[in-house]
Structure 1
Amino acid sequence: MANETIITVVGNAVADPELRYAQNGKPVANFTIASTPRAFDRQSNEWKDGDALFLRCSVWGDPAEHVGQSITKGTRVIAQGRLKQRAYQDREGQNRTAIELEVDEIGPSLRYATAQVTRSGGGGSGQRQAPADEPWITPGSSDSETPF
């Protein structure tokens, strides 16, 4: 993870994500986010759109299936991940470079919408069951004495 460029992008899904499965059965969702900066023009007293950034994104594993079920064309999303550079040759044989976002986290933007979250069975509630004999986990009152 060192020396990787991590960015956060807010924008709209250009189309429904394409959900596919690799030969090993691992799911991958590919989609494009369009992010358009806006600035207030004081002379005209109105908002002006800047040039749109179209960023191709991919997400792997269980989150790919979640994206496939949750994100649709036009959904405003917040995505965070690592920029990756990919070299390829186009149809004319010219060398090209593409910059893509390998998504680590993604969700709907709640600025102009609401969402209802349904937790999936796997992964992370962030809580795990503590062993019964673990003294540091034993609940106490705020008046409890520090154990050292």
Structure 2
Amino acid sequence: MNKVMLIGNVGRDPEVRYVDQGQAVARLTLATTERGYTLQNGTQVPERTEWHNVILWRKLAEVVEHYVHKGDKLYIEGRIHYASYDDKQGKRQFYTEIWADNMEMLTPKQASSTYGATTSAAGSSSSVASSAASNNGVGQGQTTSDAGTEDEPLPF
């Protein structure tokens, strides 16, 4: 299994859809940047930004729907998912996604009302939604559970 950990900024507001008996599925893009540097011989290596497609299911997707916005900084743990499809011309197209198992929101409280919220596919069973209703936001270190991911095509 290909595990990955990423820290980056959300590129646009997440897309959230509800499928199969109200199960939430969220898609977002995450930009990670490798800083530029100079080699000992003076060669400049420029900064490089990579874009990642991240998929979140169930409780993770619900948290994303309510609290994650373009520009927010996230920590994502997940697994690499490779897939392909045939386009309209019959040519095989390949793509890679990160299926998130764990997410931590890193945006400071001033920039987002959800500072430090932690969600996990393997976390405790506390509900972020109910605490958000009572606190008008998610407190630091709170977790939510998720029953896992499905190996089925995504609705978007």
Q: Do they superpose with TM above 0.5? A: yes
Residue 145 of structure 1: aligned partner: none
Residue 24 of structure 1: aligned partner: 21
Residue 99 of structure 1: aligned partner: 96
3-state SS of paired residue (1:36): strand
Task: Calculate the TM-score normalised by the size of structure 1.
Answer: 0.68
Q: Which runs of 4+ in 1 moved over 2 A?
A: 39-44, 116-119, 121-126
Residue 35 of structure 2: aligned partner: 38
Per-residue deviation, 1:124: 5.7
**Whole-angstrom distance in 1 between the partners of 2:83 and 2:26:** 17
**Whole-angstrom distance in 1 between the partners of 2:53 and 2:116:** 26
1:49 lines up with 2:47 in the alignment: yes
Percent identical across equivalent pairs? Answer: 24
Q: Deviations over 1:9-66 (max 9, x none)?
A: 111111111111003210111111111110332649x99412x211111111111110
Aligned length: 119
1:49 aligned partner, one-letter code: E
Q: 1:124 to 1:105 in 2, by over 3 A?
A: closer
Residue 59 of structure 1: aligned partner: 56
Structure 2: gaps (5+ residues) = 110-114, 119-126, 132-141, 146-156
**Whole-angstrom distance in 2 between the partners of 1:88 and 1:35:** 26
2:14 aligned partner, one-letter code: P
Structure 1: gaps (5+ residues) = 127-148
3-state SS of paired residue (1:84): strand
Greater gyration radius? 1
**Whole-angstrom distance in 2 between the partners of 1:47 and 1:96:** 31
Provide the aligned C-alpha RMSD in A: 2.8
